[in-house]
Amino acid sequence: MTAALFTSALDTAAAIRSGEVSPLEVLEATLDAVDRLDPVLGALVWRNDEAVREEARALGERIAAGQGDLPPFAGVPLPIKDLTPAAGQPATYGSFGAPDQIAEEDELVVAAFRRAGFLLTGRTNTPEFGSITVTENLRYGPTRNPWDHGRTPGGSSGGAGAAVASGMFTVAHGNDGGGSIRIPASCCGLVGLKPGRGRVPSTVPAWQGMAVEGALCRTVADAAALFDVVSGPDRNGWWPAPVAPVTTGAAGPPGRLRVVLNTVSALGIPVDPVVVAAVEETGRLLESAGHQVERLESDLFDPEGLGPFLNVVNSGLAEYEGIDWERVEPHNRASYAAARAVDSATFVRSLNELERLSRPLVGRFGTEFDLYVSPTMAIEPPPVGLLEAVHASPEAPPLEVLSMAAFTALFNITGQPAISVPVAMAPSGLPVGVQLVAGPWEEPLLLAVAAQLEEMVGWGDRRPS
């Protein structure tokens, strides 16, 4: 291969390992693509070109000298989302209110990326504190969708989504607290796996473990391999529970599954007919693969959980240290004020209520059905510029924001694994993602079903113009 755009991370790593291409050649191709494409897309907010060039040269010399075994992704460039600390990099959270300081330690997922051999190359844009579903902020401006520059790539991992969908990177780090990996995957035509609660260690699990770390990928094989390198038990955490096996690379066909489809939002949010059609098509594909497919007449989500969930989400702003709240955007100032108004007893009751609501829902998986299929988003990617409407109504998000997360946030509450796969293309030329959800610890099952769909649909060949 050559150091070209739109290769997979696994193929790039294999070519580096074999000596077919050098780490520096891959990096220079990546940086060249960033130079050409990012001035329009706005996916990256910080670059470390010279430092990472030195790493690539040193790795190339080591490979040429045949010095030792290489980690699985040695030499593959990967950017980190601007919400997550990485040693030697700034973490500004997309905010003017954040202090300009360099992180001294890696978050655990970043350390896992380093152990896997990735070259940490730049940082990607996010809405301020990752709190809305479009990647726009006052500090860095909007990120644009490679499929249509007038549309959003989603959020909060929208910079990561644009970086991969455009071909600048093969994979990119993201995290997901209400859909923030799956929503950009849907907007950008990518594969976005949200691991289950506790599957990827965090120093302090955000939102009581409802927010999880992961990546945006172009192929299911890359998503499986990335999950393998970042997941595993955390013996130093407060809840070091036994963890089911995570190896997914050798996963075979999933067998015949009981699949249910849902296209109804419990919040009463209208679902675009294009999105409904994508779910229906997914059902037909799964049926043709031998699965039993039925339709649910109502959503799994209980709207009573929305208030307690927002109490937990708003409290997450307290996790950010050294913030000048006078310089923070209006919607996040309002959320911070709402969080401070929730007393500790109410916060604990909110957590208890969410767990009570989750238990019977999770119990339906493996008893009534094995796989749940829904829209990832209720709408196509909205136009860039939604931040203005968010600021105009800081305490009540616009309908578009709710429509983008209406089907995803539930599974952050329950902690189940979920994945968005780019099954369809809308007449508008924009990708349409479909969400698959399985029971606890069943990421391998999700990835096996996603691989079946990938083989039937062939989305890996799609490219934005």
DSSP 38-99: HHHH--EEE--HHHHHHHHHHHHHHHHTT-SPPPTTTT-EEEEETTS--TTSB--TT-TTS-
Look up 81 and say whether it is catalytic: yes
Instruction: Give the pairing of strands 258-261 and 371-375.
Output: parallel
Per the CB < 8 A criterion, the answer to whether 392 and 110 are in contact is no
User: What size, in residues, is the chain?
Assistant: 465
Output phi, psi for 304, to 5 deg.
Answer: -60, -20
C-alpha neighbours within 13 Å on the C-beta side of residue 9:
35
Across 246-378, the runs of DSSP E, i.e. the strands, are 258-261, 292-295, 371-375
Distance between CA 80 and CA 171 in Å, rounded? 10
Phi, psi values for residue 185, rounded to 5°: -60, -40
- Judge whether 180 counts as a catalytic residue: yes
DSSP symbol at 408:
T
Q: Supply 237's token pair.
A: 């955490």
Q: Which of 180, 186, 202, 315 is catalytic?
A: 180
Q: Which region holds residue 206: left if phi is over 0, alpha if psi is between -120 and 50, else beta? A: beta
Give the integer Cα–Cα distance in Å for 88 and 101.
9
- Cα angle 434, 435, 440 (rounded to 5 degrees) comes to 160
Which entry of 81, 166, 202, 265 is annotated as an active-site residue? Answer: 81
Rounded distance between C-alpha atoms, residue 429 and residue 4, angstroms: 24
Q: Are 163 and 188 in contact (CB under 8 A)?
A: no
SS3 340: helix
Give which of 83, 129, 44 is closest to 329, Cα–Cα.
129
Measure the CA–CA gap between 76 and 161, rounded to whole angstroms.
17
Q: What's the Rg (C-alpha) of the chain?
A: 21
- In degrees rounded to 5, what are phi and psi of residue 404? -75, -25
Beta-bridge mates of residue 120? 78
Which of these is catalytic: 8, 95, 156, 157? Answer: 156
Give the number of other Cβ atoms within 10 Å of residue 385's Cβ.
12
Q: How far apart are the first and last CA of the chain?
A: 22
Q: What does the alpha-carbon distance between residue 402 and residue 95 come to, in Å, rounded to a whole number?
A: 22
Residue found under tokens 């690379």: 249
Catalytic residue positions, numbered: 81, 156, 180
